[in-house]
Each structure stands twice: as structure tokens, then as C-alpha cells.
Structure 1
């Protein structure tokens, strides 16, 4: 990670101040300088055009700073995350990012992802059968939205299904570190356990060869290059985090959106052909990447009528950009018939999510099967009682429903 005169205490101070600062911005507007600490400026971009310009700019690096000498729970949490996924594509710029993505992209081909549909449909049916045997309220987050993607990820990685509860703890640790700093030491310990398990799993997959995703990644070769063990560990950790947590949240938030917009629920139930476009609309309307993404600026960046100086930190307000009326008509309205393809729910540019097709497929199957199986499904509590957790991702703590 890059370092400047911007010190450890200032990194922590900036991270802790960003959330409250963003909360007061309620609509897309021109680039805004939030503050300057230790000679480093913090900017926020919220218009769609500005956010896409930032995410496509070569001056915008994903190598955001972490403390070199961590102090306190925030510093330790940042170091734990950096140690686990710092070598993944999520935290790399070209040419390292280009090399690694070229090695990995074959494992996520459209053909391979689409071939997973029958198995995903089978998993969804099994989970819905279990829910149908229940009486009283059901928490769709814990009992459905979490269960489907974690089973898919376990099978993709060739990990025992018995490990899925551990995967849940590890994934939760990554997303809860900054929302629950009092328990940061526990989360850091879980992430260390995760790293150790994945290192052992990579060694096994090296010996077994191709067969599952991790085995295929171990065997892949492009121009005589392979993924290193450290890169495979980082990729597996990223799959557990991004491939599971974001999909869980897409299923849960998408289902909540439908339950609170009964006209759209009925339309989607009677028009299965709209399921694919509905996934795009869910990602735009209330997606997991919310409120946005961090970048650091390596050279002066002209954007939105201003010049953001080198050395600045910039926050890309994805959720607000997805509600920009310059791109989406009547943006605060959920419309499953909308062409929402320009949403930024999977990022933009060279870091566009490699697993986007898989996430949309899982969401389409999961939500489609759910509303088809339980046409009388409704919230078991008032909408205002549903609690959100925002820590890099937007997640529902629970989604209690009555199935019929």
C-alpha cells in the first residue's frame, strides 16, 4: 500500500468521519471537498457522469491507504483486511491487475456461469422445501438469502458444505469490522483463521488439479504465468466476501423492495420474463454496494468542472449516482420494467465485478423461485422495523416474513 505524510491517526480519523459526512448528502450534486487533514483532501462525487469518470480514470488507484503502524481497532481492522485481500484484483492496479484478471477471467466465462443454473435452481428448491415446513415468521436473510449463495460458493471452491457456517462467520467479520469496532479483536481473529484455512485449501487444490473453480484457478496458465498461492488465497477470500455477502444482500434487499412495492411484486410474479431486468433495477434502486467506493488520486484529475489534486482521497457515491435523474427518469421509483443497465451496482471500468453474471443469476433464480412458491408472502413486521447494517456494504440484519 502507498504511504504519504498522511499519518496513521489521520487515516483513522478520516475513515470515522466519512460516514456522517455522507449521510447529509441526499441527492447527486457537483464534486464536493469534504475536508483536508494533514495536507490530504477528501472529496466525494455523487453524479453518475462524475462517478463513472472517476472509476475509469487511470489517475484513480484502488490502493487506498492503510496504517503502516496500526493503532487501535480501526488500524488493526484495516491491516487484517489488507493482509487477506490486499493481493486480490480488488486492490490492484495495472499492470498487476491486468495480469491477474487475465488469469482469472476464464473461470468466470458466461458459458461456465450459465451452466450453474440447474444446480442453483436445485439449491433454491431444496431451501424453499425446508421453509415450507416452517410455521410462523421466517427470517429470509438467515434461512434463504444467506444459505443459497454460501452453498454455491462452497461448491465452487470445492470446500466441504459443513464449512459453510464458518464461511458465514468469516464473511460477517469482513463486513462488520468497522460497524462494530468494540468487537474488532474477535473479527481480526476470525480473519486470521480464514487466511490459515484458505492457505491449506490452496495446497490441497494444487495437488488435486482442475475440477472445481479453485482447482481450475490453480491449473490456469496464460503466457506461461500462473496464480501464486498468495494470489489464490486472496481470490478465494474475495469470493467468500464479494461472491457471498453481496449476493446475499442482493437477494434480501431485492425481496424487501418487492414486498414494499406490491404492484411490482405482482408484475414480476406474472411476468417471469422480467426477472433479468428486475435484477438490474434492484441493483440500481437499493444495491449492496451502498453508499459507494473509495479511490486515491495519483495525479491531478479534472472531473465535474473541478480539478482534484494528486494525493487526494475520493469517495464515489454509487448509491446516489444510481438515483441521478440525468440518467434514470423518476429515479426514486422502483420499476422492474426499467432499462437500468447503466447502474453502477457492480462498479465500472477495469474493476467491474468479475462475478456480476453469477450474482445476477443467483438473484434471479432465488427471488423468482421464492415469489412463485409463496404468492401470499408478506412482511411479518412493519417496514420501519427492518434494520440495516452499512459497513462498506448495505445489508439487512433480518427480513422476517410470513410465507402464506
Structure 2
């Protein structure tokens, strides 16, 4: 009997959300989808009579993500004095952690969300993302140049991590000399912030990260250049602009979200292909399938396990369950993306699959702003890798591949490969 059979399915979901589920994540999700589309979680909601729920199937997850009349991202939209968020990270004295979580685009509701997103979207257009292709290709080739003659590399450290961090840092206006610092802080934040956890080290990373961005913004005000921070400083619309707090929080989020998830897509996507040699072979013979392969990788095991929690604005029925005002709801993206009702052979990787919709980037008004960039980077990362290293293979026994769990996401700590 394996580990996932020995624990209650809803306990299993809590294990996934707090990063303690090992490789049993998808078994746990499949078990829960059989139980129902909305599952009660044994999650302690401090100082409140509210309940936590996990949404396991696609239709209901979509409803939660898109229905702003019944669900919000900030519990203060329900009650200005709400301290529900303390249940999520554990009480933390760190104002920087609170700052990072509470002022960013993905943690505020309308009308502030629309105002901020409209301002940022002006600089973050799909057309602009496409224009970055030559730069991303150059970076991908430079990274592979450094390891080509060695015949082996750690795909995480040498390729999947540095590619997106360099792209987003360049876009935003972080000097090259500071890229590694940014990555270090970002790792510290991701490793220490999970559901029900608050690591003092992550609070320290957040503090240093916040101070750094503050200084960077001050420098850009004095000497603007052709980058995203300078654009955000100068953008004004109908007398609206980002105030200092919003600006710093926005830049933190863009840097953090702009590389963490894409790094994970590149490294875990490579492992998916190595685990499915038939799919890898198809892709090596036809690079035009890479964009559809990226969508299938995102569906099969996208970087984010769950979307940020939603809170019920009023009593509502969802998936046959009575949700009370103030209840916390976790839309499980990885589970919804394997919903048998929507995907044939949902537990199989099929890079030729025609996907109408998946939830890897979320949906609704909070859908990931950087999705077009992630798609461009994924496309280029896999195309460059397979062109230059068609004989790619794992350099360690498969059972020695090590996972790491961070911020309700699943990634690889390293992936030694030879070519």
C-alpha cells in the first residue's frame, strides 16, 4: 500500500499545499476528484468559524476564478478587519511579508485591481513579448554555449533558472551584476512561503528584496532608461498612477512571478519529455509541435499547484456544497487540468493534444499577466535545447531526481543531464 492510500484524501490535499506530499500529488488529486468537485479541508481557520475548501474539478475551479460577484482574493473585501490571511502564512511579524502578499496585483480586488492592471498592461502587451524573441534566443544560446563542450550540465542551474531570471531582470531594468542576487532572494521567498508556513529566512529575503527594489526605483526616477520600471514610473492614465507602495509591490511580483514559474516549466517540462521518450522523439522530429507541447506540459503538470486562495463574498452553493460567506477556497489548478470530464486520457502526456483551455495560468481578471512571456520563453527554451542537444538524456538514475516544494508549487532542485 503506498503512502497516498494511508491518509485521508482531504488530508492529502493539505500535504500537497504545504509541500509534504512527495510524488503522490496526482494520486491524491485523482482520489479527491472521485469524492467530489469541492472537498472540505481540515484546515484550521484561526479566530473564525469559517471553513476551507479545495476545488478539484475544472468547471467549479473556473467558476471560482471568474465569478467576482461571489469570490474575492482579499478577505478585507468582505470585512475590513479580517485577519483570515494570518491563517495562510502563520502569523508573521514581518511587515515585508505582509507587504509582498497584500499589495500586489494578485492580492487586490476591484476597483484597485483594474486600475493597476490597466496601467501595467500598457507596458506588458503580447506584441511586446513577441518582440523579445531575438533577445531570449540569444540568451538561450549563450547559456548552452557555456556547457556545450562539457557534454553534461545541471539543466536547472545552467539553463532553466538563469534564462527567465535574465529575461525578466533585463526587461524590468535590473543591472546585470544584480541578477544573481535577485535570484537568491527570490529562491528564499519561494522556499519559505507556503500554505500554513512562514519561514523567518523568507521574511529576511523579502525585506532585502523590498529594500533593493525601493533603491532601484529611486535610481530610475533620477535616471530613467528604456525599461519597464521607467515606463511604470512615467505611465499616467486619467490622473491615475501607481503610488510608491503599489509600484514596489508590483515590481517585486513581476520579477518573482516572471521567472519562478517559467524556470519550473523548463526544468519539469524537460523531465516530462525524458520520462516519455516516445513524446520526446515526436518533438525532436517536428519542432513545429513545440508550442502545443508547451501547452500540454502546462496542463499535465504546470508550475502552480493552486491559484491564490479565494474567499466567499456571500453564501453560495458550489459543486453541491454550501459555502458560507468568509470561507476560504483553493482552486487546485493541477487537479482541474487533469479533470477526466474535460481531457481524454487525462493522466497521459500527449504533446499533439488539441487543448481548448487549461488553468495553468489561472483564468478571469487575475489570469497571469506574464502568460504570453512564459509561452515565448518556453517555446524558445525547448526549441534551442532540442536543436542543439538532440541526444539529451538523464545523467543520474531516475529515482535520484529530487523535487522541491515551494509556495504551493512543485519544482526540481537539480536535473543532471548529458548530451
TM over 0.5: yes
Q: 2:30 aligns with which of 26, 29, 44?
A: 26
Alignment of 1:202-241 (within 5 A): 202-209=217-224, 211-241=226-256
1:21-80 CA distances to partner (integer Å, 9 max, x unpaired)?
A: 996443423212223754111111101001000111112111258969979x94228854
Q: Is the 8 A contact 1:77 1:178 kept in 2?
A: no
Alignment of 1:5-404 (within 5 A): 19=18, 24-27=28-31, 28=33, 29-35=36-42, 37=45, 38-58=48-68, 59-63=70-74, 74-76=90-92, 80-135=96-151, 137-178=152-193, 184-209=199-224, 211-391=226-406, 392-403=408-419
Give the distance between the partners of 1:160 and 1:289, measured in 2 at CA: 28
Q: Is the 8 A contact 2:17 2:194 kept in 1?
A: no
Give the distance between the partners of 1:68 and 1:289, measured in 2 at CA: 22
| Structure 2: 5+ residue stretches without partners | 1-12, 77-81
What SS does the aligned partner of 1:26 have? Answer: helix
The total of aligned residue pairs comes to 389
Give the distance between the partners of 1:244 and 1:130, measured in 2 at CA: 21
The Cα of 1:233 is off from its aligned counterpart by: 0.8
Give the distance between the partners of 1:52 and 1:77, measured in 2 at CA: 34
Deviating more after overlay: 356-365 vs 287-296 = 287-296
The Cα of 1:208 is off from its aligned counterpart by: 2.9
Give the distance between the partners of 1:171 and 1:256, measured in 2 at CA: 23
Give the distance between the partners of 2:94 and 2:332, measured in 1 at CA: 21
Give the distance between the partners of 2:197 and 2:345, measured in 1 at CA: 41
What SS does the aligned partner of 2:30 have? Answer: coil
Give the distance between the partners of 1:179 and 1:96, measured in 2 at CA: 26
Give the distance between the partners of 2:37 and 2:124, measured in 1 at CA: 36
Q: Is the 8 A contact 1:291 1:394 kept in 2?
A: no
Q: Is the 8 A contact 1:259 1:378 kept in 2?
A: yes
* Partner of residue 9, structure 2: none
| Structure 1: 5+ residue stretches without partners | 1-13
CA shift in 2, pair 1:96/1:70, >3 Å: closer
What SS does the aligned partner of 2:51 have? Answer: strand
The root-mean-square deviation of aligned C-alpha atoms, in Å, is 2.7
Give the distance between the partners of 2:14 and 2:251, measured in 1 at CA: 26
Q: Is the 8 A contact 1:40 1:311 kept in 2?
A: yes
Give the distance between the partners of 1:32 and 1:192, measured in 2 at CA: 36
Q: Is the 8 A contact 2:17 2:305 kept in 1?
A: no
The Cα of 1:108 is off from its aligned counterpart by: 1.1
Q: Is the 8 A contact 2:299 2:334 kept in 1?
A: yes
1:109-132 CA distances to partner (integer Å, 9 max, x unpaired)?
A: 121111000000000010111110
CA shift in 2, pair 1:70/1:78, >3 Å: farther
Give the distance between the partners of 1:101 and 1:255, measured in 2 at CA: 32
Q: Is the 8 A contact 1:85 1:237 kept in 2?
A: no
What SS does the aligned partner of 1:330 have? Answer: coil
With normalisation by structure 2, the TM-score equals 0.86
Give the distance between the partners of 2:412 and 2:94, measured in 1 at CA: 23
Q: Is the 8 A contact 2:96 2:210 kept in 1?
A: no
* Partner of residue 7, structure 1: none
